[in-house]
Amino acid sequence: MAEESVGERNRTNTFVLSARKRTMQKAAKTAGEGVLFAVASFVAVIVLFIFYFVARDAVPFFQIRGFSEFFTSSNWYPASDPAEFGALAIIYGSLMVTLGSALIAVPMGVAAAICLSDILPFSIRQYAKPVIEMLAAIPSVAFGFFALVIFAPLMQNNGGPMLMWAWWILVSPFMLLAVIVISDLLTTKIKEQKRRQQLHIFFLIFFGFLSILLLFKVGTVLYGIQILTGTNALNVSIILSFMALPTIVSVSEDALQAVGRDLREGSYALGATRAETIIKTILPAASSGILAAVILGIMRALGETMVVWMASGNSSQIPEPWFNYLQAIRTLTATIAGDMGEADQVTGSARFHVLFAMGLLLLVISFISNLVSERIVVRQRKILSGQ
């Protein structure tokens, strides 16, 4: 009986608060929100702090040496007397390996994500995804060691055949597709059934023959290439693409999953095949997530230091010709890592500050690409929601 009355009283009290309790609750609420706000803003503040301190040490470099040398000259001799701080070749090298790794990792990563989310049965996906994500857990120095000790000599000794096989394996499917599509397109206009079929077969054989000729011709040219040095832009691009893959696969697979069953089933219900569903429904719907995945992966490649420091050759040169991935290059990150040791206020200030200028440049590049991707994502969402 007594218990019941206590319960009764509590129940009524929850609705009618005393003034003291109300202020206490209010205080607790403000305190809790304040802590959460502080934690959230801490992250933002860290970014601002990094920006501020990097910029603070980068600005003196431009005050001492000006802008033009840094961005237009390729003479990188920070240690000699007089010193030269031309970073053009280094910036170019960074962009080159980032582009190279993106060219390899993005198609592979997105294809793998589509395969994981829409093609493979669930039981396989359950195991395949963690295995791919495990790739992200390998320390970058291990990748670098592999690139320097195993992959570089391999490229030097078997470079030509490796390039040839890569060309055949990667290009043949596209060639086959192109032959079929072109012959189809060329013959659709012809009305007469029999003539069309004859011409179709003729075009198939003709273009098929041409493409096989092209495949072999380029293949033999590639076979003859002697890779002089294994520590080159191609080596680093390939290794970096492996490092960017898990990010791209994992994030875009999540985006594809997020599209949901209803859209897929709606598409099937309209009579679309699986290929049509993937290309016309799921990919557009998930495009913003896939783009985010791609940007994340590219940022990983741009910011990676250990692998490029060990295996890019670190020569401050723009390859000759400019698209030659078989020559050694040097990147911004590797330069910062490699030159940090000696660069100190003790040994000359421009040399110290130039590394911060490079760091600032990296920050700005990633900042801009993040902003751009953000804009694209927002616009994509607007288009998809029909606004």
Partner 1 sequence: MIKKILLFVTLLALTVTATGIAAVNTIVLDGSTTVGPVAKTFAAYFSKKYGIRVTVSESGSGNGAKSLINGSCTIATMSRAMKDAEIAAARKKGVNPVASVVALDGLAMVVHPANPVRSLTKAQISSIYRGTITNWREVGGPNTRIVVIQRESNSGTEESFKDLVIGKGVQITGSAETQSSNGSVKSRVSTTLSAIGFLGHGFVDGSVKVIAVNGILPTVATVKNGSYPVSRPLYFYTNGQPSGPVKQFIDLPKTVEGKRMITELGFINR
Which residues would be at the binding site for partner 1 (CB under 8 A)?
A: 74-81, 84, 89, 148-149, 152-153, 156, 226, 228-231, 309-310, 313-317, 327-328, 330, 338-339, 341-342, 344, 346-348
Spatial contact of 224 and 160, defined as CB atoms under 8 Å apart: yes
Greatest Cα pair distance in the chain: 100
Residues belonging to the chain: 387
CB nearer partner 1, residue 7 or residue 224? 224
Which CB, 121 or 341, lies closer to partner 1?
341
Question: Please, which residue, 112 or 227, has the CB nearer to partner 1?
Answer: 227
Instruction: Give me the least distance between CB of 104 and partner 1, in Å please.
Output: 23
CB of 79 to partner 1, least distance (A): 4
CB of 72 to partner 1, least distance (A): 15
Query: Least distance in Å: CB of 144 to partner 1?
Result: 11
Q: Give min distance, CB of 387 to partner 1, in A.
A: 52
Q: Vertex 125, ends 124 and 129: CA angle to 5°?
A: 125
Question: Cα(112)–Cα(123) distance, rounded to whole angstroms?
Answer: 16
Cβ distance to partner 1 smaller for residue 4 or 320:
320
CB of 49 to partner 1, least distance (A): 25
- Residue number with CB closer to partner 1 (41 or 347): 347
Report phi then psi at 313, rounded to 5: 90, -25
| Tokens, residue 5 | 């009355």
User: Between the CA of residue 62 and those of 68, 129, 364, what are the distances in Å?
Assistant: 9, 47, 16
Closer residue to partner 1 (CB): 208 or 348: 348
Q: Cα–Cα distance between 48 and 39 in angstroms, integer? A: 15
Residue nearer to partner 1 on the CB measure, 315 or 370: 315
CB of 333 to partner 1, least distance (A): 14
Torsion angle, alpha carbons of 150, 151, 153, 155, to 10: 160
Whether the upstream peptide bond of residue 173 has omega within 30° of 0, thus cis, is: no
Going by their DSSP bridges, the two strands 84-85 and 76-77 should be labelled as antiparallel
Q: Please say which residue, 247 or 305, places its beta carbon nearer to partner 1.
A: 305
Cα pseudo-dihedral 212, 215, 221, 224, rounded to 10: -100
Decide if 236 contacts 307 (C-beta within 8 A).
Answer: yes
- The minimum distance between CB 241 and partner 1, in angstroms, equals 22
In the complex, the smallest distance separating the C-beta of residue 87 from partner 1, rounded to whole angstroms, is 12
Closest approach of partner 1 to the CB of residue 88, in Å: 11
Select 51 or 145, whichever has its Cβ closest to partner 1. Answer: 145
Sign of CA dihedral 271, 275, 278, 281: negative
Report CA torsion sign: 304, 308, 314, 315: negative
Q: Compute the distance between CA of residue 207 and CA of residue 209 in angstroms, rounded to an integer.
A: 5
Beta carbons within 10 angstroms of residue 348's beta carbon: 17
CA dihedral of 115, 121, 123, 129, whole degrees rounded to 10 = 10
Cα angle 93, 99, 103 (rounded to 5 degrees) comes to: 145
Residue closer to partner 1, measured from CB, 267 or 314: 314
